[in-house]
Amino acid sequence: MAPHWFSNHVAYTMAKYGMSMCVLGMAKEFESANIAVNALWPRTAIFTAAMEMLTGKESDQFSRKPEIMADAAYAILSKEPKQQSGKFLIDDEVLTAEGITDLKQYACVPENADKLMPDFFLDVAPEKLVEFAAEGSHAASLKKPQADAAGGKIEGLFKKIESMLSEEIVRKTGAVYEFKVKGEEAGTWFADLKNGTGKVGKGNPPSTADAVLTMDSKHFFDMFTGKLKPANAFMTGKLKISGDLQKAMKLEKLMGGLKAKLKLAGLTLFITGASRGIGKAIALKAARDGANIVLAAKTAEPHPKLPGTIYTAAAEIEAAGGKALPCIVDVRSEEAVRAAVKKAVATFGGIDILINNASAISLTPTEETDMKRYDLMHNINTRGTFLVSKECLPYLRRSRHAHILNISPPLNMEPHWFSNHVAYTMAKYGMSMCVLGMAREYESANISVNALWPRTIVFTAAVEMLHGKEGYSYARKPEIMADAAYAILSRPPGVSTGRFFIDDEVLAEEGVKDFEQYACVPGNALILTPDIFVNEKKAKL
């Protein structure tokens, strides 16, 4: 699951890994039926029409013939089913185990047998493939993208601070600061909190600084995001101050005020599946900051079994202090998604945060999963997440606070998470693979892409459908996911990306100790039902 195998072709990787997930699930599911399920993959490029398309006509010079895969497959299929199942086999390793020592016979050009082009998905740097790529071939896409000229985390932080300045902050502070930043993002910055409504920027301050602060870029960032207090930084030598020490220490109050304000006020969140459950809880949490919420969901009319519509949710968001834009959206429809994105941009001027929350679930074994249900899960979970992300990304690129957060699980590849519901696991893991790929692909664009998943079941309509009303007593409220999402989304982009967060771990890091408040029945806080895809339970929580 190395991110670089996702970043430049996440859609293909998800599709190919879906085949491999079938192996994990079906091998376990049909073990007792004595059915062997395995995978075979080549170590090097195999010269086929597909390989010629990817790397050019000359790629036969550095490829093997299809016969090596045929011989390896023959060796595998000749074994008794019970001998091996659930294995991911490499062609030349299979043949070596069979006693074959002459692998040169499989090279298209035997003289090049020792310098063949490695195939995708093996433990080799993707740049190795580029070395063999013909000019203009698809393999050129594997080259690492150049970094954007958008600047680093500190520049983004100053831009955010600039948007929050006010006469009140200037009146309370009354000082001009110069920041000499060392390390990865070295440079000089200033904050004029003495004149007018304040001003920040790169370079020397417009007037003589009252205090000059020198520190490493990492410590500087931690100080401005509330992780490091200025007084503590000074006492431990992480911060050096020259000039008016008393005015320098005013930063402590300033940072406290900015930390409270550097949240989601004025930002636009596009949330799928936001009419109820976790999606609505996240929307309401952001609305209390004064955020703009685009509710992208299907329920426009009251449902006989499910609470709420996009319009009732919109009313709650407005009442909470946010601005709401309800949009009727089926994430399977390109037209509907595209229209909602355009309407969001026309209404609010852009999109800063995307929450891919819409999901479909059916925990059925392979032979009991009809293809209509399979397609529903994959079209909503995997394809829907990819589609909505794709349509939002041009606007996320323009945002100074760009986040994508998928409500999807950590990629736990233990077979038992596949064996009884391989179709659902593949669909849900597709959302998580989007995280791996897009986090790497858009790293240079300063867009954070992460996943969030609950440790225990969260009582929603989907959980009630699976566990019945009695599931309520052993579940947590959606608010735990909302609070965890808020903590993640409040961080400046680039601080963490490509991460798979668990709700209570995020909150524990934020200093939350009372998790009983999130239990539907507080007396059951220690005997909650664990969610799927999570193995360990943190005893301290």
Inter-residue contact 62 to 117 (CB < 8 Å):
yes
- Six token digits for residue 446: 């300063």
Cα distances (Å, whole numbers) of residue 297 to 228, 280, 324, 537: 40, 10, 13, 33
**Residues 220/224/225/228 CA torsion (nearest 10 deg):** 60
Please provide the distance, in angstroms rounded to a whole number, between the alpha carbons at the two ends of the chain: 29
> Strands, DSSP E only, in 114-235?
175-182, 187-193, 199-202, 211-216
The DSSP call for residue 107 is B
> Can you tell me the distance from the alpha carbon of 325 to that of 349, in angstroms, rounded to the nearest whole number?
13
Element (H, E) at 448: strand 448-453
- Six token digits for residue 231: 């007084």
> Can you tell me the distance from the alpha carbon of 445 to that of 443, in angstroms, rounded to the nearest whole number?
5
Amino acid in position 144:
K
The 3-state secondary structure of 233-245 reads HHHCCCEEEEECH
The DSSP call for residue 534 is -
Inter-residue contact 170 to 195 (CB < 8 Å):
yes
Among the listed residues 424, 442, 486, 518, the single catalytic one is: 424
- Six token digits for residue 75: 């060796």
With CA atoms as reference, report the closest residue to 447 among 390, 506, 502, 393: 393
**Residues 374/377/380/382 CA torsion (nearest 10 deg):** -90
The DSSP call for residue 8 is T
DSSP-assigned states of every residue in 387-411: HHHHHHHHHHTT-SS-EEEE-----
Cα distances (Å, whole numbers) of residue 286 to 9, 33, 422, 523: 32, 51, 34, 29
Cα distances (Å, whole numbers) of residue 119 to 41, 130, 340: 9, 11, 40
Q: Is 424 a catalytic residue?
A: yes
Active site residues: 424
